[in-house]
Amino acid sequence: MHPTRPPASPALSRRSFLLGATGVGASLALAGCAGASGSASGPTTISFYVSKPEVLTYFDTLIAKFHAEQSAVRVVRDSTSNMSADFVRNNPPDLGCWNYNFSVVEFVERGALSDLSDMAEAKRINPDLTPLMNQTASFPGRTSAIPYAVAGASVLFSVDLFEKHGVEVPTTWDDLIAACKTFEAAGVSPFYNTYKDTWTIAQGMFDYSIGGMVDVPGLFRRLDAEGASVGSGSATSFEKDLEGPMAKMVELTKYSNKDASSRAYGDGNLGFSQGKGAMYLQGPWALNEIAKTNAKMRIGSFPLPMTNDPHDLKIRVNVDLALWIPEVSKKQEAARTFLRFLMRPEIQDKYNADNNTFGTTKDAPPTKNPALVGMQKYYDDAAFYLGVSQLIPSEIPVANYAQSIALGSAARPVLTQLDGDWSRLALRRS
C-alpha cells in the first residue's frame, strides 16, 4: 500500500472541478481551426488536457501561437474529460497538463503514462524535483511526467504592517511568537485565518506546522512500512510523530482573528488585503485575488518557523502542473512536438512568471515577484516538502481533522483517529 494516493490538494479541488462554458467554447473554436492550414495529407490533431480552469485562456493563447508557427500538428484543448473514464475506455487525451498529485497516482503506478526519459526536455529538469515526483507516484524505470510549474507556499505578510510595528521577518519559533505578541499589543491580528474552508487549514497551518518540524518523506516511508500496524503500539504513528507540531499549531491559533471560525477563503483574501491581519497562511494562488482589492499592497513571504533553529526553515511546495503522454496515445510524436514547444524556455519561463510559480528546469530564472522572493532561496536549496495533507489518501478526511484541531478539539484523539483510518485503509488495500 502506498499512502500517497493524493487527495485533491486544496489547490486541485479548487481549480479542477469548475469547467466553464468559456473553456468548452474555446476548445470547439480551436477544433474548428484545426486542419485549416496543414500539409497535403493534413495535420495530425491531438487532444491536450489542461486541469486548471484559471489558465485555460492562457494555454489557448499558446496553442494559437503554436498553430501560427507550424501546420503539421493541430491542438484541441480539452478541459472537460473524465480522466478515469477516458483511461478505462482506452481513449485518454494525447497530452496532459495536470496537477501532479493524488489524481495521477493510479495512472502512473499502473504504467499508463509513457516514458519521457529520452527527451531532452526531461534531462533539463532540476534533479531536486525528482524526489517530489517519486514521492507522489512513480513507475520503475520511467519518467512518467515532466514537471512544468511548482507552487511554493509559506507565510504571506504585510510589509507595511511589519515596518510600521518594527517587526523583523522571524526565523525562529521564539521570534515568531514575539512578533505575534507585538502585533497583538498593537491591536493588529497577527494571523488572518479562515477556518470555515477546511482546505485552507490543511494546506496552511496544518501542513506548515508539520513540515517545519518533521522530515515529511521520512515520516511517510515509516508509515508505509508500518502499514496496517500504525497505532499506539507502532514505532511510527500520526499520534506520536505529529503531537509536537499540533501542539504548536494550537499555540498559533491563539493569535488568529476572532472571527476565524466563520471566515472562508474569499474572506481571507479580502481581510488580508484590508490590513486586518499581519500574516496570512496561503499560497501564491491568493496573490491575484488579493490584488483585486488592493493592487498596491506590499506582500512578502517567509517559511513558518517551527523550531529555534533557522536551518530548519522550509517551504511547502506542490507540483502545480506536469506534462505527460499516455502510453496508448497513437499520436506520440505529435504530442511530443507540442510538449517540446511548451517546454521552450521562453514559453515555460513566461508561464511561471505570469502565474506566480517556480520554474522546474536547471536554468529557470528566479522569480521577480516581490511576494515570492522570500521563498526563492529555500526553493533553490531544495529546502521544501510536500504537504502532509497532500500525501494522505483522499479516503481519509484529514482536512476536517485539521479543522477540528484548529477549532479547539484536543489533538491527541484526532491523531489517534487518523492512525485508525490509516491502518484500516492499509489493511483494505493489502
Considering the entire predicted model, what is its pTM? 0.88
Distance CA 286, CA 281 (A): 10
Query: Is there a domain that residue 20 lies in?
Result: no
pLDDT surpasses 50 at 27: no
The answer on pLDDT for 14 being more than 80 is no
Same domain, 308 and 366: no
Decide: 290 and 271 in contact? Cβ < 8 Å.
Answer: no
- In a shared domain, residues 356 and 410: no
Give the pairing of strands 44-50 and 279-282.
unpaired
What radius of gyration do the chain's Cα atoms show?
A: 22
Tell me: do 212 and 197 sit in the same domain. yes
Q: Tens of pLDDT along 258-295?
A: 999 999 999 999 999 999 999 999 999 999 999 999 99
| Dist CA 306 CA 176 (whole Å) | 9
Chain segment 47-85, per-residue pLDDT in tens: 999 988 889 999 999 999 999 999 999 999 998 878 888
266 in the same domain as 324:
no
Q: SS3 for 116?
A: coil
What is the pLDDT, as a whole number, of residue 85?
86
Asked whether residue 411 is assigned to any structural domain, the reply reads: yes
- The average pLDDT across 171-181 equals 98
Q: Are residues 298 and 308 in the same domain?
A: yes
**What confidence category does residue 18 fall into, taking pLDDT thresholds of 50, 70 and 90?**
very low
Q: Is residue 121 part of a domain?
A: yes
Label residues 52-84 b or e (16+ Cβ within 10 Å = b).
bbebbeebbebbeebbeeeeebbbbbbbebebe
- Both 249 and 286 in one domain: the answer is yes
Q: What is the Cα–Cα distance from 212 to 216, expressed in whole angstroms?
A: 9
Q: Which of 39-43, 217-221, 373-377, 380-384 has the lowest mean pLDDT?
A: 39-43
Alpha helices in 41-172 (DSSP H): 56-69, 83-88, 102-109, 120-123, 130-136, 159-164
Q: Per-residue pLDDT tens for 412-424?
A: 999 999 999 999 9
Where residue 1 falls among pLDDT bands split at 50, 70, 90? very low
Assigned domain for 5 exists: no
The band of 97, judged by pLDDT with boundaries at 50, 70 and 90, is very high
pLDDT higher than 70, residue 9: no
- Residue 359 domain flag: yes
Is 367 contained in some domain?
yes
Q: Which residue has the cell 484523539?
A: 413
Sign for the CA dihedral angle at 55, 61, 66, 71 comes to: positive
Q: Give the total number of structural domains in the chain.
A: 2
In the structure, what pLDDT confidence band is assigned to residue 30 with cuts at 50, 70 and 90?
very low
217/219 Cα distance (integer angstroms): 5
* Domain range for 322: 44-149+318-386
CATH number at residue 410: 3.40.190.10
What burial class does residue 166 get, using C-beta atoms within 10 Å of its C-beta: 0-12 exposed, 13-18 middle, 19+ buried?
A: exposed
Give the mean pLDDT of 212-221.
96
pLDDT at residue 37 tops 60? no
* 67/192 same-domain check: no
